[in-house]
Amino acid sequence: MNAIIASALLGVLMMFASWIFDNEKTHTRIALVGLLALIVANVLQLNGIYTIPVDYKGLLAFTQFGLYVNTILFILTFLYVWLNGDEIAKIGNHAADFYALFFFILCGASILTSFNNLLMLFIGVEILSIPLYILTGADKKNLNSNEAALKYFLMGAFSTGIFLLGITFIYGATGTFQLIAPTVNPANGMVREQLMQSAGLILIFVSFNFKVSAAPFHFWTPDVYDGAPTVFTSFMATIVKATAIIAFVVLFHSQYKALGYAWELLLTFVLISTLFVGNITAVFQRSVKRMLAYSSIAQVGFMLFALYGPTNFANEGILLYIMAYSVASIGLFGVLIKMKDYSFEAFNGLAKKEPLIAAMTTIFLLSLAGIPLTGGFFAKYYMLNAAVQSGIGLWLVALAILFAAVSIYYYFKLIQAMYFVEGAPAMHEVEQGYKYKLLVFAILILALGILPNVFLSYLYF
């Protein structure tokens, strides 16, 4: 509760900040302080010290898991703003407006981690999505950005429609919006209701696939990620995507049994096509930004393994995955922002010119590829273990592994460009301080890769 209220208030506060303060650096500082306050408010509830008393009539359910996810998301946002503050200020007129949108997105996110009711889920998704449409179109004078925003908005609105239809079906079947474990009792002649409930869940499933950009509902992703200003792509591809995935997992861990066999079939189909589309298409990209867009689709393929069943591995794994993936991606986008040209060739010879940046980029890429010593390894490991434990065929795991090997190809293409090809990379000025900020991200990745325990043990307090 703390996080939902605090983030909404902070959003409003930020809106007025641009009115009072002219300096954009000040906006960034206020936003950082606000994020710290948000983290504190959430940790207070996480540890059971203080919760703002609100009677929410059972519409929300604050679990240890959900609150811990909140903490992670807020910390990630904090790191993101801390790294990218100057870049955000370069876009549009008032950085504070964007920070206000970030806080609204976080408000939506904290609803999405704690919903206990389909309407709350819907509200959360919408609070999360609408600021995103604005962020995508933030670069007003850039046609690509405008196109991306319109595309995103139309597709998003469409998927929202599907979502609502799904909720209606479920309401029709069960007579409530509350999340309740589905009761399967064909003997009482409940077959029609059951069918309706299944249809509703499938519709919601489809719309969630759209939100997390899983194939075959991924078509908007590359264009939107490519068109949006790179700083905001970084935010959408990491923190927002992580939130959507978590909501997806929370919803279906309680509901998947209602779908019976169809569930495994559907999920497997989506999972394979996501891995296939993401990885294979990423191989052929010429622009690093587009490659990262497709690679984010491929990564979602791995995250979907968490949906197979509510095991410890799935829960811990998805947390580890969003941490490792987000930190590495924010770092990579942070490097990308500093490049004048987003093609692979532009990275040629980066290791000679900027050895530290190249080394950190390498760590981020190794993590995305899932190589030991980086967080990405344990993330993938937990996902695969969850899959094996839930009893699905080993062939699917083997297939995922093959695609992981494919991903090596496009991630290493960048490493090869940086280290083994001569060239003069065109970069914007990079301050020393920015490098140290990136270094923090790299260290976090290594810490996640060596002692993931430290980050997970909080779940069990």
Partner 1 sequence: MVLLSILSIPFIAAIILLFVKHNEKANYIAIASTGITLALALNIAFNGAANFDASWISSINARFVLTADGLAKILLLLTGISFPAIFIATSKNEIKNRAQFLSLMLFTQTGLLGVFLAGDALLFYFFWELALIPVYFLCSIWGGEKRIAVTFKFFIYTFLGSLFMLIGIILVYTHTADQSFAIQSFKEASLSGGQQLTAFALFFTAFAIKMPIFPLHTWQPDAYEQSPTAVTMVLSAVMVKMGLYGVMRWLMPLFPDAFAAHSNFVVILSVIGILYASFIAIRQDDMKRLIAYSSIAHIGLMSAALFANNEIGAQGVLIQLFSHGVNVLGLWIIADIIEQQTGTRSLKEMGGLAKQNPTLAILLVGFAFANIALPLTNAFIGEFLMFNSLFQFKPWIAAAAGVSVVLAAIYTLNMVQKCAYGELSEKMSKMQAPNMPAQFVLIVLLIVVIISGVYPAPLFDLTADTLQQLFIK
Judged by CB under 8 A, which stretch of 26-34, 93-101, 210-218, 405-413 contacts partner 1? Answer: 405-413
Residue 456 binds partner 1 (CB under 8 A): yes
The DSSP code for 236 is: I
Q: Which residue has the tokens 């408010």?
A: 41
Q: Are 152 and 160 in contact (CB under 8 A)?
A: no
Residue 457 binds partner 1 (CB under 8 A): yes
The 284-313 contact track toward partner 1, x by CB under 8 A, reads ----------------------------xx
- Which region, left, alpha or beta, applies to residue 372 given φ > 0 means left and ψ of -120 to 50 means alpha? beta
Q: Which of 104, 377, 411, 434 contacts partner 1 by CB under 8 A?
A: 377
Residue 268, amino acid: T
Is the Cβ of residue 226 or residue 316 nearer to partner 1 in the bound state? 316
Q: Are 99 and 32 in contact (CB under 8 A)?
A: no
Q: Which of 128, 135, 384, 445 contacts partner 1 by CB under 8 A?
A: 384
Residue 181 binds partner 1 (CB under 8 A): no
Q: How many residues bind partner 1 (CB under 8 A)?
A: 34
Q: Which of 36, 265, 405, 426 contacts partner 1 by CB under 8 A?
A: 405
The 410-429 contact track toward partner 1, x by CB under 8 A, reads --x---x--xx---------
Q: Which of 143, 175, 394, 433 contacts partner 1 by CB under 8 A?
A: 394
CA angle 445, 320, 76 (to 5 degrees): 65
Near partner 1 in 224-263, by CB under 8 A = none
Q: Which of 404, 442, 444, 445 contacts partner 1 by CB under 8 A?
A: 404
Q: How many residues does the chain have?
A: 461
User: First and final CA of the chain: distance in angstroms?
Assistant: 19
Q: Are 206 and 162 in contact (CB under 8 A)?
A: yes
Q: Which of 16, 50, 409, 436 contacts partner 1 by CB under 8 A?
A: 409
> Which runs of consecutive H residues, i.e. helices, occur in 137-260?
143-174, 191-211, 220-227, 230-235, 241-255
Is the Cβ of residue 258 or residue 275 nearer to partner 1 in the bound state? 275
User: What is the spatial distance between Cα 262 and Cα 268, in angstroms, rounded to a whole number?
Assistant: 10
User: What is the spatial distance between Cα 355 and Cα 345, in angstroms, rounded to a whole number?
Assistant: 17
The least distance separating partner 1 from the CB of residue 153, rounded to whole angstroms, comes to 40
Closest by alpha carbon to 369, among 457, 307, 291, 456? 291
Binding site for partner 1 (CB under 8 A): 312-313, 316, 366, 371-373, 377-378, 381-382, 384-385, 388-389, 394, 397-398, 401-402, 404-405, 408-409, 412, 416, 419-420, 451-453, 456-457, 460
